[in-house]
Amino acid sequence: MALDDLYREVIMDHYRSPRNYGSLDNPTHTISLTNPFCGDEIILELQVSDGVVSAAKFTGRGCSISQASASLMTEAIIGKPVDDAVAMMRGFRRMMRGQLENEEEMGDLVALAGVGKFPVRVKCAVFPWEALRQALTPEQLPDDD
Ligand code: ZN
């Protein structure tokens, strides 16, 4: 199986069977966001305790890229210290600009790297991470960070 096909398979699998879909009983952070570029919607809920993202769930609707990205993101950040989750968010944004620094660290998220070639879809892939950014880092990040 070609790598592109494998990645497409991962994306479609997460789109069809999103992981961590739903809502938390006692979220510490709730962010609701709409992507003006293609109408994607997400409600991201986090439970942060002792500086660790102990739980994350989302609901929403939208294109396959945004939904798969949200699903992959929750899998990637659960159990991570907030600082690591923020570092991963920055790494993901860089990956979307073609700068994949640490493939191992990005894990399954690498399946979305190919989206970087399609600027219109980058907004969809980054969208759930933008919700995470707003939840965890109140300050505005410059686009190149
Ligand atoms: Zn979209």
Dihedral pair phi/psi, residue 55, rounded to 5°: -155, 150
Q: Mean pLDDT over residues 99-121, rounded?
A: 91
Residue 107, domain CATH: 3.90.1010.10
CA of 49 from ligand 1 middle (Å) equals: 31
Check pLDDT > 70 for residue 1.
no
CA of 38 from ligand 1 middle (Å) equals: 5
Q: Which residues pair with 42 in a beta bridge?
A: 33, 60
pTM to 2 decimal places = 0.92
Containing structural domain, residue 97: 3-136
Q: Mean pLDDT over residues 27-46, rounded?
A: 95
Q: Give the pLDDT of residue 145.
A: 54
CA of 69 from ligand 1 middle (Å) equals: 10
Residue 143 lies in a domain: no
> Could you read off the pLDDT of 56-81 as tens digits, one per residue?
999 999 999 999 999 999 999 999 99
Q: How many domains does the chain have?
A: 1
CA of 68 from ligand 1 middle (Å) equals: 10
> Could you read off the pLDDT of 111-138 as tens digits, one per residue?
999 999 988 899 999 999 999 999 998 6
Residue 132 lies in a domain: yes
Mean pLDDT rounded to a whole number for the chain:
92
CA of 126 from ligand 1 middle (Å) equals: 10
Q: Return the exposure string of 77-116: e unless at least 16 CB atoms fall within 10 Å of the residue's CB, then b.
A: bbebebebbbebbebbbbbbeeebeeeeebebbbbbbebb
CA of 87 from ligand 1 middle (Å) equals: 23
CA of 65 from ligand 1 middle (Å) equals: 6
Residue 144 lies in a domain: no
